[in-house]
Amino acid sequence: MTQYFLSLPHDSETEPTMESIDPAELEELMAEVGAFNTALQDSGAFRFAGGLQPPSTATTVDATGDGPEFTPGPFATASEYLGGFWIIEAENDDDAIGWAKRASGVLRSRVEVRALQEAPAA
């Protein structure tokens, strides 16, 4: 089994928050995401998931120089940003892509699929 990272890119520089979304739409979306998460859990594919706060809430830490530097905000300025993710386990790429198709339909958004790197054997 391989673990996969299903990421949810947001296509806008604007940072929608739970408070900025129409409450009725948010309730429907959260119910659909909940059903998707339950299907993942029931299948045994679910490992963990999370939504991310907007990029403006980030702090970038750089300890590559003489001392650590802390910068408010994201590492890079971009017109897209990562809004959330799932870590799943699947037999192969096709199975992982199948879950991503379902997630994309639920969220009405693109979902990127990437396998996690295998740790070297000890």
DSSP 17-28: -GGGS-HHHHHH
Q: In whole angstroms, give the CA distance from residue 12 to residue 91.
A: 33
Structure tokens at 10: 């947001």
Longest CA–CA separation in the chain, Å = 51
Q: Where are the domains of the chain?
A: 2-52+79-115
Residue 4 has pLDDT above 90, yes or no: yes
Task: State residue 110's pLDDT score.
Answer: 86
First to last CA, the chain: 19
CATH homologous superfamily, domain 2-52+79-115: Dimeric alpha+beta barrel (3.30.70.1060)
Q: What is the pLDDT of residues 26-61, one digit of tens each?
A: 888 889 999 999 999 999 999 999 988 877 788 888
Please list, in sequence order, all residues whose beta carbon lies within 8 angstroms of the beta carbon of residue 56, skipping any fewer than 6 positions away: 15, 73, 74
